[in-house]
Amino acid sequence: MSVAYINDRQALLTLLFQWSSAGWIRDLDAAFADQLAQLTPEADTTCLLAAALVSHLAGQGHLLLDLQQLQAHPRSLIAVQPQEAKNDLATPESFIAALAAHDWEKELRRWTAVGEGDGNEPLVLDGSRLYLRRYWRHEQRITAKIEARVTQTTEWAAEDTRALLDCLFPRDDTNASEARWQKIACALGARSPFAVITGGPGTGKTTTVIRLLALLQSLNIKTGNPALRIALAAPTGKAAARLNESIAKQVEALSELALPEGAQATIPKEVKTLHRLLGARPDTRHYHYHARRSLPFDMVVVDEASMVDIDMMAALLDALPPHARLVLLGDKDQLASVEAGAVLGNLCQRADVGYYNDEIAHWIETTTGFVLENDYRDTRGRALDQSVAKLRHSFRFDSQSGIGQLAHAVNAGDASQALKVIKDQTYTDLTHIKLSTKAPYPKLTALAVAGRKDNASALGLSHYLQRIHRQETRPAISAGKARWDAWAADILDAHTAFQLLTPLRQGPWGVEALNERIEQALMRDNLIHKTEDTSHWYEGRPVLVTGNDYGLKLMNGDIGITLNAPRQFDTQATSETTDDSGLTLRVAFPDGQGGIRWVLPSRLQRIETVYAMTVHKSQGSEFAHTALVMPDTLSPILTRELIYTAVTRAKSTFTLLDANEGLLAHAIERRIQRHSRLFA
């Protein structure tokens, strides 16, 4: 290692930009260090490297740079694959290792760009942990606001709560035992103004929260208090639309229960995205609602909370009135948000065991009739523990379900058991397709197009495309919008029958290459028809929205299908051409309220074709048949949480495609460890 790099600021900055050109760090990371170097001439190379590292780690989802970890495991901070290394360029691992013995804390504490608490410095050093100030401030505010809520209790009469819970969860119900933790979660949620309900797929998170809302509204009615003003939210439009569908059914089911009059009617059915709930202002980090202008609600429920990053959670808590309740729903074992932070994971890190104290155990027994086992009790349980409930029974996957067994093995980090399950041919809902390293794509595209030949329920993309081409079901051009909406909704529903997932965006196994190959296969089978005139727009093309568009009311993650439809469905159609049939291309999106939003292709600016989708983008979605294709080389992105998220996107059938089963074992054994002090 050249001494010049270690002692020369300019040489270091040059090296950082070389690393960004190589793709090892972001341009932003190098530019951040460069800007601080210009503002603070006293900064040495250790300080500037620390600034680049904390910025880089933020881009990887971490909230801080742990200086103790840096000194103990310097090679773990920037992942560079062996095949990416360049002979003439010092790698981050070797360079950081060469500086690891330096007294980083001492140098950082005398740097004017670093503070140790409240202030305006861009960096904060908290003990041996270096933060970007924004994330330090968010962590402090989130901790303070949640701790303020979990230390409060709502004193409902235990006998009233018990009577209503027995109404919502009848003791003579055949599923009463399996729904035990749902009932306990409602009891905990009624007691505390802050509640977290976590659980895997099919454990009944939506059912539980609707019954919690029914319980709270009923208790207010019985005590003469006004009904709670409730807002339902989700991080993405896709997650909001899915929650909309399930909530309507759950609220309707309450009509069969003997609840106080008016309780059911006060439960909302409309779900908004968090951006829309807070009133996001385009191209800024600011919202209409904030600490000085609170949300006009008494309770907010957030679904798919694992996708909520630290910026959004801080904004939500700022905008929440002090008296308002907050309920977070989500699967703690799924991938965390794409942006920095793993808030739900931090909140639920002790959920498996419970740690309920004697007071809470007594409340649970009094209001639900269930006696907590000693395994879930701990007199030293923290205040936060008393507000977190884990649902432990899956109503979707039983002992005969290969998907359930695979998800359990993956979640437990048991790679050998996961491989055993995936290869066990007795599970009809699982298939393992071995790809040839020489010619992997024929099997992959055949599955994507036609599904599994041995399983009629394991459909492929041809299912929804054939439905589009079925002339007997296509509405006449003179049919009203309601008829066309119903047809488009049927196509969109058919599209959820299959989805191919991949961990990567780039490379031969990334979404871009896979989408191109699948598109070519669909053209060969005459399932789609592209011409030079239509360019990349054609009937049947599925598209994924990759950025919020408030003008079109489309959110990041929304999926639409391109269809030929009457031009009058869009008032902006004057410049569009119409074919001889009087139809023109529109992209049909669900509007989240049972209808369809028809959008001109030319108005969509941030979209991509979605025959294949990254696992990250699939969060908040479910597909009848989900297939995961593994890359053929190691990648830092391959983790247990990624595999678990992919497997649990499948409602009825899961297919794994790989050329190297060792990569699956490698991924299952690797956990995402996002550095944070939030509730540590």
C-alpha to C-alpha distance for 451 and 460, rounded to whole angstroms: 4
| Local confidence band at 86 (pLDDT 50, 70, 90 cut-offs) | low
C-alpha to C-alpha distance for 544 and 558, rounded to whole angstroms: 6
> Nearest CA to 150 among 459, 386, 319, 367?
386
- Is 553 annotated in a binding site? The answer is no
Identify the weakest region by mean pLDDT among 299-303, 462-466, 513-517, 552-556: 552-556
Residue with tokens 């933790």: 181
DSSP-based three-state secondary structure for 436: coil
Q: 476-490: b or e for each residue (b if 16 or more CB lie within 10 Å)?
A: eeeeeeeebbebbbe
- Is 127 annotated in a binding site? The answer is no
Identify the weakest region by mean pLDDT among 356-365, 484-493, 654-663: 654-663
Does the pLDDT value for residue 1 go beyond 50? Answer: no
Torsion angle of C-alpha atoms 608, 612, 615, 619, degrees rounded to 10:
60
Contacts of 196 (CB under 8 A, 6+ apart): 305, 327, 328, 329, 344, 347, 348, 351, 387, 388, 389
Pairing mode of beta strands 559-566, 542-545: antiparallel
| Amino acid sitting at position 279 | G
Task: Give 124's strand partners.
Answer: 115, 131
Looking from the CA of 644 toward its CB, the CA atoms found within 13 Å total: 26
Torsion angle of C-alpha atoms 404, 408, 414, 420, degrees rounded to 10:
-10
What end-to-end distance do the CA atoms of the chain give, in Å? 37
Report the pLDDT averaged over residues 177-193: 93
> Nearest CA to 641 among 338, 275, 379, 377?
338
Q: Provide the pLDDT for residue 571.
A: 44
> Could you give the angle at which helices 205-222 and 158-168 cross, rounded to 10 degrees?
140
| Amino acid sitting at position 4 | A
Does the pLDDT value for residue 4 go beyond 60? Answer: no
> Nearest CA to 334 among 429, 239, 210?
239
Q: Provide the pLDDT for residue 336.
A: 82
Looking from the CA of 209 toward its CB, the CA atoms found within 13 Å total: 33
- Is 390 annotated in a binding site? The answer is no
CB 354 within 8 A of CB 387: no
Does the pLDDT value for residue 83 go beyond 90? Answer: no
What is the sign, positive or negative, of the torsion defined by CA atoms of 566, 572, 573, 576? Answer: negative
| Local confidence band at 575 (pLDDT 50, 70, 90 cut-offs) | very low
Strands (E), 374-489: 388-391, 430-434
Q: Provide the pLDDT for residue 87.
A: 62
- Is 423 annotated in a binding site? The answer is no
Compare 295 and 636 and report the one with higher pLDDT.
Answer: 295
C-alpha to C-alpha distance for 631 and 547, rounded to whole angstroms: 26
- Is 115 annotated in a binding site? The answer is no
Does the pLDDT value for residue 172 go beyond 80? Answer: no
C-alpha to C-alpha distance for 656 and 322, rounded to whole angstroms: 47
Compare 263 and 89 and report the one with higher pLDDT.
Answer: 263
Reading the block at residue 106, the tokens are 């001492």
> Nearest CA to 53 among 15, 8, 4, 3?
15
C-alpha to C-alpha distance for 196 and 313, rounded to whole angstroms: 14
- Is 481 annotated in a binding site? The answer is no
- Is 201 annotated in a binding site? The answer is yes
Residue with tokens 């909530």: 247
The rounded mean pLDDT for the chain is 88
Q: Provide the pLDDT for residue 582.
A: 74
Q: Provide the pLDDT for residue 360.
A: 95
> Nearest CA to 200 among 503, 655, 673, 649?
649
> Nearest CA to 629 among 514, 548, 520?
514
Residues 45-54: tens digit of each pLDDT: 889 999 999 9
Pairing mode of beta strands 559-566, 388-391: unpaired
Q: Provide the pLDDT for residue 74.
A: 74
Question: What is the number of other CB atoms lying within 10 angstroms of the CB of residue 47?
Answer: 25
| Amino acid sitting at position 272 | K
CB 125 within 8 A of CB 107: no
Q: Provide the pLDDT for residue 573.
A: 42
| Amino acid sitting at position 575 | S
Q: CA angle, corner 572, sides to 571 and 577, nearest 5?
A: 110
Residue 187 parent element (H or E): helix 180-191
Residues 106-152: tens digit of each pLDDT: 999 999 999 998 889 999 999 999 999 999 999 999 999 999 999 99
| Local confidence band at 578 (pLDDT 50, 70, 90 cut-offs) | very low
Report the pLDDT averaged over residues 500-522: 91
- Is 204 annotated in a binding site? The answer is yes
DSSP-based three-state secondary structure for 398: coil
Burial class (CB in 10 A: 0-12, 13-18, 19+), 473: exposed
Residue 314 parent element (H or E): helix 310-319
